[in-house]
Homo-oligomer: A and B are copies of this chain.
């Protein structure tokens, strides 16, 4: 492979809205993670990695400090210009930090001609997210795609995943951000109890409507609902739709045309059938 071919490798990582979760911490970042479920999205993060001696990380053209991205580059031993672009809102419950970390891992591995497997790269990104406190389950969900159910917490080889065999249009509106780090660094006992209950309910009836119902119950039980979110969820229910709150962001997501039918002007995407992957390379 020539030096030129190694440059500028791009990966796409789907967004991920967590519908509900429980937090599981150990002394080991590989076994730390979350149980729960959510939807991966056709709107995601595109990450291009170009090895250079000078590390430079940008998001939509602006210099950013993203701890999980630095963690990935450090563990892989790669110095690079990392450019990410996304249409997703930041800090609003779409797993942008996890996507940024996972995309960096996949693209850096290819760009720097490392020879890690996919499980190893997912583990690198998962550990970096856990270490940064920015997420517990987005990376493994984004590596899988579809409608992921996190049965057991942790990186590949430790965690366990399943999925709901369904596809759907997904709409969302964002009113503001919530700090995942703040919520995750606080007492998550009540939240985790609600999350375990929601997962049990979903596994009794693994369908998209049940996922949304368990997510609504979780948001209420965990005490996370804001007034704007509660109003939008109620408005979608009133027109017969299915909506809930994204964990963790002041974001409402709905199946089908739920938010449109309720009079909102949402962003529109779909569940994404594939996990994170390199963008097609000419070969």
A residues engaging B (CB < 8 A)?
106, 109-110, 115-119, 121, 145-146, 149, 156-157, 160, 162-169, 203, 205-207, 255-256, 270, 273-275, 277-278, 280-281, 283
Contacts and interface: CB of A to CB of B under 8 A. Distances in A.
A278 B166 contact: yes
Contacts of A115: 205-207
B206 A116 contact: yes
A148 to B, nearest CB: 9
Contact of A255 (B110, B274, B283): B283
List the 8 shortest-distance A-B pairs measured between CB atoms, nearest first: A274-B274, A118-B163, A273-B277, A119-B162, A273-B274, A117-B162, A117-B206, A256-B283
Copies of this chain, count:
2
Given A255-B283, A256-B283, A283-B256, A278 B117 contact: no
Given A117-B149, A146-B118, A164-B118, A169 B277 contact: no
A280 B162 contact: no
A117 B255 contact: no
Interface residues of A: mostly helix, strand, loop or mixed?
loop
A270 B109 CA distance: 21
A159 B23 CA distance: 26
A79 B65 CA distance: 56
Contacts of A256: 283
B164 A117 contact: yes
A59 to B, nearest CB: 23
Contacts of A110: 165-166
Contact of A165 (B162, B270, B278, B283): B278
Given A119-B163, A167-B283, 14 more contacts: A115-B207, A116-B206, A117-B162, A117-B164, A117-B206, A118-B163, A118-B164, A121-B165, A145-B275, A157-B160, A165-B278, A168-B283, A256-B283, A273-B275
Nearest to A160: B157
A164 B114 CA distance: 12
A160 B156 CA distance: 9
Contacts of A280: 167, 270
A167 B117 contact: no
B255 A146 contact: no
A116 B165 contact: yes
Contacts of A165: 106, 109-110, 116-118, 121, 277-278
A172 to B, nearest CB: 15
Contacts of A117: 149, 162-165, 203, 206
A160 B121 CA distance: 16
Nearest to A208: B283
